[in-house]
Amino acid sequence: MDRRSFLHISSASIAVLAIGCKAEEQQKTGTDIPQAQDTAQPDVEEAVGTTLNNWVEIYTDNKVEVYISKAEMGQGISTGLAMVVADELNAKWEDIKVSLVGEMDQHYFSNAGIPVTFGSTSTKTQYAQLRFVAAAARQMLEEAAANQWGVDPSEVSSANSQVLHPDHGSLDYGELVEQAALLPVPELPTLKTAEEFTIIGTERKRIEHEAVLEGKVVYGIDADVPNMLYASVRKSPVFGGEVLNFSALSHPEAEAIVQIPNGIAVVATSWWKANQIVQSLAVEFSTPAELMGVTDESIMENLLNSLDESGEIAHSEGDAESGLAQAATTYDAIYKVPYLAHAPLEPVTATAWVQADRCEVWAPTQAAMSIRTAAQEITGLDTEKITVHATYLGGGFGRKGESDYAEQAILISQQVGTPVKLIWNRPEDLQQDFYRPIFCAHLVGGFDADGKLTTWYGKSVGSSVLLQQGASFAIDPTSVEGFDALPYEFDNEYAEHVSIESPIPLGFWRSVGHSQNTFFVECFMDELAELMNKDPLDFRRELLPNTSRALAILERLETMSNWGNPPAGRHHGISFSKAYSSFIAQVAEISFDEANKQVTIHKFYCVADCGLVINPNGLRAQIEGGISFGLSAAMNEKITIQDGAVQQSNFHDYKVLTLPSAPEIEVELIQGSSSPGGVGELAVGPSIPALVNAIYAASGIRIRSLPISEALA
């Protein structure tokens, strides 16, 4: 069949609404949303206009193309959002294809937060809008068929990319698309009810999965542009250092050696050659005086001393000071965590081609628009002359939301005048990262004479990613998420945060503040439970009396893990977290070799309530992956700094989790809300205290400083 791709289903605009306030409010209090109540109809809130073709195109051969503007970095968002569109559109799943586009301009819903893939917000922030788009298209196709049959639109239905009528048979979407394109776009399309879902909530395979295993998926690192040269870079190992001897640098096999901020790039006809050269050159870097003598240990010492400083109040309920003064028993502990690197397996890379009148960039990115902005600034070109191709990512974890590597590629191409593919070698990737900040926290609990935990006091010290980026507010919310406003019910709850300026570049590491705060909170909860001789699960349950979604997952987890009755030789540890509008609890099942102080992580049990489940397979995968990511960090990961430079250089000294050490993971999902919550980062934070708490159960060793391998050494 002739595929005429220029036929679109209308260019007129429609209004799309974001998920309403009411659904979010219910998520915050954690109160039950009865399954029968269909909150799949988002509340009327801020409506913005968009055009159908920006998001979905229906072709005369019945193929449906869905534009995905969120970055596909393994969280399965391209499949998930395509499922949302396909369901509402009543399209045949097998005819759906996805195209990745950079999130900006026509591929950005302005009522969907910022144009970045971050914070486990992708489903939450595009779910409703995409449903409106798809519903509009569906209605127009149904109307077109009704017109053709001379019947009222109410008499037709649609399924599997066909419009149906009991007496007139069926018409394919592909046959209707020309006529549908001429119809007025419905102002406020009618959404399906949850009972009518045929794709949302069903197990679907990742659209790209087969192609991945054939080596056919094109990641950022695979970009191929004719006449492309290759570049490898080297920045000052001491942060902020400058190249001192640039004019002395040369190499016969280099096509070019160019300057980049704080470093150099070598360009050659092969990346291997460019990299060999850049690593061999005798580059002299300056050593900023303020960074000499700065180590991760000196930084941590400074943080610990700053626990005595006054910070900003992140949360205050009741009167914690009185609560502690009047407590029958008080208990406190200090916890510490190190700098962490992202280390996505595809190192940062970008391919750029700067010409006099245009600029094209291919990059694995969580923030395509920031790359375009950088290209504007560097080249002076207008946005219409700049194209950013957002590719598949070989892992992101927050690292690929930065535009530094794309900026380098643009600068290099601008100087050499050809397309240039820049790939960072692994040492560069580890040493020029934007790190998860080093943190410490002091926690104090106060019990009354009956043994009830009445008062919770927490003070953390760390550095702010957002403040380093130039934002200005009293507290960076990402520093205290999971530390302030805990889901537990205390009479008095207080959280304070001291923010220290960081000499080290900081960035958003998968789960951000939760990555350290869940460790602090959930380990301290266990220590408090033990003080009162309470079972850790019961202890938490008693402090969550009104959060039915939390109680539901704890109950399910208790049974599922056979909590408290691990197999012989094994021990359990538990954690709970409320984050990203979702609820999660985990049990780690481990064994401990006393003689060698070796931990074997046998299994993880997890129950999660992420609200509306789009793709259960994808959701479970994100939880499994998040647990692995957290365990990897907890067991072995630590970035050390010496004289203002990162000491680690590859996976031999920045050890990440591998299969021989990885646990079995069992996940159950409870759908406690009909709005989707976030999951991409949800499982990371709580995996760490579950493990640490299990190690205590097994060994009597309290670990308050990570990584575990260091604490046990």
Q: Which residues bind to other proteins, rule: CB under 8 A?
A: 72-76, 205-206, 208-210, 212-219, 221-222, 224, 230, 270-273, 275, 343-347, 392-397, 423, 425-426, 617, 621-622, 624-629, 631-632, 650-652, 656-660, 662-665
Please state the closest distance from residue 691 (CB atom) to other proteins, in A.
Answer: 14
Please state the closest distance from residue 206 (CB atom) to other proteins, in A.
Answer: 6
In the complex with other proteins, the residue whose CB is nearer, 391 or 460, is: 391
Q: What are phi and psi of 417, to 5 degrees?
A: 80, 15
In the complex with other proteins, the residue whose CB is nearer, 53 or 622, is: 622
Q: What is the DSSP string of 3-51?
A: --TT--S---EEEEEPPPHHHHHHHHHT----TTS-TTSPPP--EEEEE
* Structural tokens at position 271: 């990346």
Helix (H, G, I), strand (E, B) or coil at 138: helix
In the complex with other proteins, the residue whose CB is nearer, 19 or 420, is: 420
Q: For residue 670, what is the DSSP state? A: -
Q: What is the DSSP string of 235-246?
A: E-SBTT--BS-G
Please state the closest distance from residue 221 (CB atom) to other proteins, in A.
Answer: 6
* Structural tokens at position 572: 């359990």
N- to C-terminal Cα distance for the chain? 68
Please state the closest distance from residue 684 (CB atom) to other proteins, in A.
Answer: 10
- Give the number of other CB atoms < 10 A from CB of residue 157: 14
In the complex with other proteins, the residue whose CB is nearer, 603 or 702, is: 603
In the complex with other proteins, the residue whose CB is nearer, 308 or 664, is: 664
Please state the closest distance from residue 291 (CB atom) to other proteins, in A.
Answer: 27
C-alpha–C-alpha distance, residues 235 and 432, integer Å = 8
8 A C-beta contact, residue 13 and residue 49: yes
* Structural tokens at position 374: 């950088």
Sheet with strand 256-260: strands edge to edge: 256-260, 263-268, 229-235, 420-423, 349-354, 359-363, 386-390
Please state the closest distance from residue 73 (CB atom) to other proteins, in A.
Answer: 6
In the complex with other proteins, the residue whose CB is nearer, 39 or 232, is: 232
8 A C-beta contact, residue 97 and residue 85: no
Please state the closest distance from residue 218 (CB atom) to other proteins, in A.
Answer: 7
Please state the closest distance from residue 628 (CB atom) to other proteins, in A.
Answer: 2
Please state the closest distance from residue 230 (CB atom) to other proteins, in A.
Answer: 8
8 A C-beta contact, residue 389 and residue 223: yes
Please state the closest distance from residue 343 (CB atom) to other proteins, in A.
Answer: 6
The separation between CA 34 and the C-alpha centre of its own chain, rounded to angstroms, equals 29
C-alpha–C-alpha distance, residues 525 and 490, integer Å = 12
8 A C-beta contact, residue 588 and residue 691: yes
C-alpha–C-alpha distance, residues 589 and 436, integer Å = 27
In the complex with other proteins, the residue whose CB is nearer, 30 or 76, is: 76
- Give the number of other CB atoms < 10 A from CB of residue 642: 14
Q: What are phi and psi of 619, to 5 degrees?
A: -65, -45
In the complex with other proteins, the residue whose CB is nearer, 379 or 632, is: 632
In the complex with other proteins, the residue whose CB is nearer, 170 or 649, is: 649
Q: Which residue has the tokens 């909590």?
A: 563
CA angle 496, 519, 447 (to 5 degrees): 60
Helix (H, G, I), strand (E, B) or coil at 289: helix
In the complex with other proteins, the residue whose CB is nearer, 397 or 483, is: 397
Please state the closest distance from residue 78 (CB atom) to other proteins, in A.
Answer: 11
Please state the closest distance from residue 200 (CB atom) to other proteins, in A.
Answer: 18
CA angle 685, 689, 693 (to 5 degrees): 165
In the complex with other proteins, the residue whose CB is nearer, 3 or 209, is: 209
In the complex with other proteins, the residue whose CB is nearer, 394 or 676, is: 394
Give the sign of the dihedral formed by CA 405, CA 411, CA 415, CA 419.
positive
Q: For residue 348, what is the DSSP state? A: -
